[in-house]
Structures are given as structure tokens and as C-alpha cells.
């Protein structure tokens, strides 16, 4: 039972990252976002897909099963959403 309780957040996620993701506002400077990510103890990875830049904010304790996907335009946040991190096909 204790083992299942310890693994549960890794599988289903917790509300911490979801709550953090909800605080990310359109228009926020990317530089400020990265500072907040570091202060909160999360990890961030920048990726480019076609003409779109993203920052994936991850909770290291949850094995990145869920991420906050932040869309960046012109060095500013365009949008942020909490999503299941699934491999590309």
C-alpha cells in the first residue's frame, strides 16, 4: 500500500504543476517565466516545432508524465496548458 501511495503522483501527477501552469499569463516575458520556473524548482526545456517555439515546464518529481506546455511568440508567452506528455508518433 505504501509503495502504491509513493508511485501514485508519478503516474497521475499532482495539482502543483497544474496550479503553477494556471498562473502563466499571455504576454509574460519568457525571461520572467524561466525565473519563476527555477524559483519553483521545476525544469524547463525549450523546443521548436515548425515555426512555433515551446517551453515545456516539468515537475522532476513526477517523471514528466504531465507538463505545462507554453507557446512562445516574439519572446513572450502566447498560451500555456497542462497536458499529458506523450511521445511523438
- For 78, the 3-state DSSP assignment is strand
At 6, which helix (H) or strand (E)?
Answer: helix 2-12
Q: What is the pLDDT of residue 10?
A: 44
Question: Beta partners for 68?
Answer: 57, 82
- The answer to whether 32 and 74 are in contact (CB under 8 A) is no
What pLDDT shows up at residue 56?
94
The domain ranges of the chain are 2-84
Other beta carbons within 10 angstroms of residue 39's beta carbon come to: 8
Tens digit of each residue's pLDDT, the chain (89 residues): 444 444 444 444 568 999 999 999 999 999 999 999 999 999 999 988 877 899 999 998 777 789 999 999 999 999 999 998 776 55
The pTM is what? Answer: 0.79
For residue 16 the three cell numbers come to 502543483
What is the chain's length? 89
pLDDT value, residue 2: 46
- The H-or-E segment that residue 79 falls in is strand 76-84
Residue 5: predicted pLDDT: 43
Amino acid at each position: 500500500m505504501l509503495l502504491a501511495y509513493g508511485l501514485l503522483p508519478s503516474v497521475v501527477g499532482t495539482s502543483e504543476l497544474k496550479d503553477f501552469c494556471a498562473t502563466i499569463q499571455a504576454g509574460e516575458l519568457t525571461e520572467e517565466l524561466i525565473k519563476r520556473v527555477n524559483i519553483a524548482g521545476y525544469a524547463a526545456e525549450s523546443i521548436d516545432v515548425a515555426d512555433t517555439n515551446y517551453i515545456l515546464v516539468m515537475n522532476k518529481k513526477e517523471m514528466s508524465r504531465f507538463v505545462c506546455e507554453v507557446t512562445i511568440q516574439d519572446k513572450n508567452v502566447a498560451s500555456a496548458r497542462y497536458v499529458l506528455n506523450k511521445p511523438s508518433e
